Chains A and B, each alone.
Chain A
Amino acid sequence: MSNVLILIEHAGGEPKKLSLNAITFGQQLSAQSGGSLNLLLVGENAGEAAQAVKGYGAEKVFVIDDPSMHNYLAESYATGLSAAAEACGATSIAGASSSLSKDLFPRLAIRLNAAMASDVLEVIGAKTFKRPMWAGDVLATVELKSERQICTVRTTEFDAPEAGSEASIETLPVNVDLDQLKTSLVDLKEIKSERPDATVADVVVSGGRGVKSSDGFKVVEELADLLNAGLGASRAVCDAGWVPNDLQIGQTGKIVAPDLYFALGISGAIQHVAGMKGSKVIVAINKDPEAPIFQVADYGLVADLFDAVPQIIESIKS
């Protein structure tokens, strides 16, 4: 039977919203293959987060909460995922596209002799998927010609999952000898933000080279906070160190698709557009009337962002 296993990322005892959308991918894939859907949570408090995902029609929700698996390392997680795939007879393994899955799944693919599709946009068949190439300038239909398949899923293309029958929760006794690994975690500095993450926010406000400095970025933040929006930035702004790289949106950064996207002082290189063109409504403000961002904008305003954005803020406040 061609069963499906979806890795659910979680934090603070809650599943991440990105991973919920990956369950929808799993539901679609198990409908195609006729196999069961299974979920896996690894790490501290995985059992708590598992409670929140048991009602989506999965056969089983696996939990691995051994202390040796509390910190993510590709080497140890690959062992955990292999064990879960074995436990449920999974031939398809997937998860939301994230820094974790991109670091982990190719390793798992070799371990399981599986082919892999990255950033899947659409399920065409049990082994056939649509995915982007050339910064989203090409959509490719790819077939994975192996007994087992692995996918990372672009979750902006999948809605939240529909409720289904209740799964049984099963703890898997997986532990690894950390001393035997070739990698060790030295430090993890979390960038804490009160703002919603751009990948799940309804509104995203992004700044580009036009903000001129880290001080100039404050007006972008002010508009974002007023709209309870996620923050984003172009590569130029991140490279310059004006904002943390964590905010970067584009081919190599985050992929977002909010209801409303503000591109402020962003020229609109294809690499940036690749990360935001799925947004429902795009507003671009740029001094340069020739800026390519105007080609994807629903509403373009040729203006200095330092003139226009304060006016927008005033208008929203009143």
Chain B
Amino acid sequence: MKILVTVKRVEDPEIKIKIKADGSGLESEQMKYVVNPFDEIAVEEALRLRDTHEGEVVILSLGVADCAQQIRTALAMGADRGVHVLTDETLDPTLASLAMQKVIEDESPDIVLMGKQAVDDDMGQTGVMLAERLGWGQASFASKEASLESEEEKSKQTALNVSDNKVTVVREVDGGIETLCLNLPALITTELRLNIPRYASLPGIMKAKKKEIKEFPLRDLIGDAQPLVEVLKMEKPAARAAGMIVSDVPQLMEKLRNEAKVI
């Protein structure tokens, strides 16, 4: 079985971001970049699938030359090889999904896994757009019923059930848990509750250095297609007015009753 996982290079969510004075984007000085946390979960699930069914895990990333670091991170976790679509352009989900489609039509994986959203632009569109472009079925927000502290998680078994050229996926929906059956090839986006991603081991990091990363220039894949979403301006939201620390429950209740008048 061949599994392709997309990983996006994003600003480290632990670091406070700053917007440029002219509102055109983020300050990149002193910023650290990581694999989008949702995509790490997708990499982990792909490795578990491969361990059950054999085959290979291919990592795909779109972006600047430094994206190679995020691809290496996934390779160090245990993925087999990488594909890097090189560009300095900012891609919207319509373009990102188009470039992914071109790579995937060439690679022909059985399953594509990716995070349900990236924690930078929080759009959450690319995965489902890609499924439609490919004409595949989709299961977004893949999850499992067992918790991340369960025996099931500790056993590192995949939560995706593949057999007879189909995959069964449990997904989270508003007010419930849904189970879908998809024909392969299929596209799956991952929820936080799917698994706990492994750390790269030292031997894993050493091995990753020798693994192959193929490079393609973006425009060789997508011609002159243009993005459809333009960010005109970025700004910080208004800060909440400073609150107060109350000394005890009686004072809290007095404030809620007489000042805020909410109880």
> How many residues from B make CB contacts under 8 Å with A?
84
Minimum C-beta distance from A88 to chain B (A): 22
**Closest residue to B127 on the A side, CB-wise?**
A106
B45: CB under 8 A from chain A? Answer: no
B245: CB under 8 A from chain A? Answer: yes
Contacts of A32 in B (CB 8 A): none
Are B93 and A103 in contact, CB atoms less than 8 angstroms apart? no
Are B119 and A137 in contact, CB atoms less than 8 angstroms apart? no
Contact of B147 among A128, A191, A240, A297 (CB under 8 A): A240
Are B175 and A190 in contact, CB atoms less than 8 angstroms apart? yes
A interface secondary structure, majority: mixed
Please give me the 7 A-B residue pairs with the lowest Cβ-Cβ distance, nearest first.
A241-B147, A182-B137, A115-B228, A106-B128, A183-B137, A106-B125, A311-B249
Contacts of A189 in B (CB 8 A): 176-178
**Closest residue to B244 on the A side, CB-wise?**
A299
B interface secondary structure, majority: mixed
Contacts of B13 in A (CB 8 A): 135, 270-271
Q: Give the CA-CA distance A74 to B135 in the complex, in Å.
A: 12
Minimum C-beta distance from B159 to chain A (A): 13
Q: Using a CB-CB cutoff of 8 Å, which residues 235-263 of chain B contact chain A? A: 235-237, 240-241, 243-246, 248-250, 252-253, 255-256, 260, 262-263
**Closest residue to A116 on the B side, CB-wise?**
B125
Contacts of B178 in A (CB 8 A): 185, 187-189
Are A315 and B230 in contact, CB atoms less than 8 angstroms apart? no
Contact A191:B175 (CB < 8 A) given known A78-B132, A183-B180, A239-B192:
yes
Q: Give the CA-CA distance A137 to B182 in the complex, in Å.
A: 36
Contact A137:B236 (CB < 8 A) given known A107-B131, A188-B178, A301-B245:
yes
Are B253 and A312 in contact, CB atoms less than 8 angstroms apart? yes
B202: CB under 8 A from chain A? Answer: no
**Closest residue to B101 on the A side, CB-wise?**
A110
- Residues of chain A having any CB pair with chain B under 8 Å: 74-75, 78, 98-100, 102-107, 109-111, 114-119, 128, 132-146, 181-191, 197, 203, 227, 235, 238-242, 245-246, 251-252, 259-260, 270-271, 277, 280-283, 294, 296-303, 308, 311-312, 315-316
Contact of B192 among A142, A252, A296 (CB under 8 A): A252
Contacts A133-B122, A188-B177 known; list 8 others, CB within 8 Å.
A135-B122, A139-B236, A141-B232, A182-B136, A183-B180, A239-B192, A296-B240, A298-B243
Minimum C-beta distance from A280 to chain B (A): 8
**Closest residue to B131 on the A side, CB-wise?**
A107
Q: Which of B122, B138, B178, B193 has the most CB of A within 10 A?
A: B122
Minimum C-beta distance from B244 to chain A (A): 6
Contact A109:B243 (CB < 8 A) given known A138-B236, A141-B232, A191-B177:
no
Are B137 and A239 in contact, CB atoms less than 8 angstroms apart? no
**Closest residue to B147 on the A side, CB-wise?**
A241
Minimum C-beta distance from A229 to chain B (A): 11
Contacts of B250 in A (CB 8 A): 315
B208: CB under 8 A from chain A? Answer: no
Contacts of A117 in B (CB 8 A): 229
- B 127-159 to A, binary, CB cutoff 8 A, 1 in contact else 0: 111011101111111010011111000000000
24 residue pairs A–B, Cβ–Cβ below 8 Å: A74-B128, A98-B174, A102-B128, A102-B140, A103-B141, A106-B132, A110-B94, A118-B122, A132-B122, A132-B237, A133-B122, A134-B17, A143-B232, A144-B228, A185-B180, A191-B176, A191-B177, A241-B147, A246-B172, A271-B13, A277-B240, A294-B245, A301-B246, A301-B252
Are A107 and B128 in contact, CB atoms less than 8 angstroms apart? yes
**Closest residue to A111 on the B side, CB-wise?**
B132
Are B175 and A141 in contact, CB atoms less than 8 angstroms apart? no
Are B137 and A140 in contact, CB atoms less than 8 angstroms apart? no
Minimum C-beta distance from A261 to chain B (A): 10
Q: Give the CA-CA distance A315 to B246 in the complex, in Å.
A: 16
Are B234 and A103 in contact, CB atoms less than 8 angstroms apart? no
Are A183 and B192 in contact, CB atoms less than 8 angstroms apart? no
Contacts of B147 in A (CB 8 A): 239-242
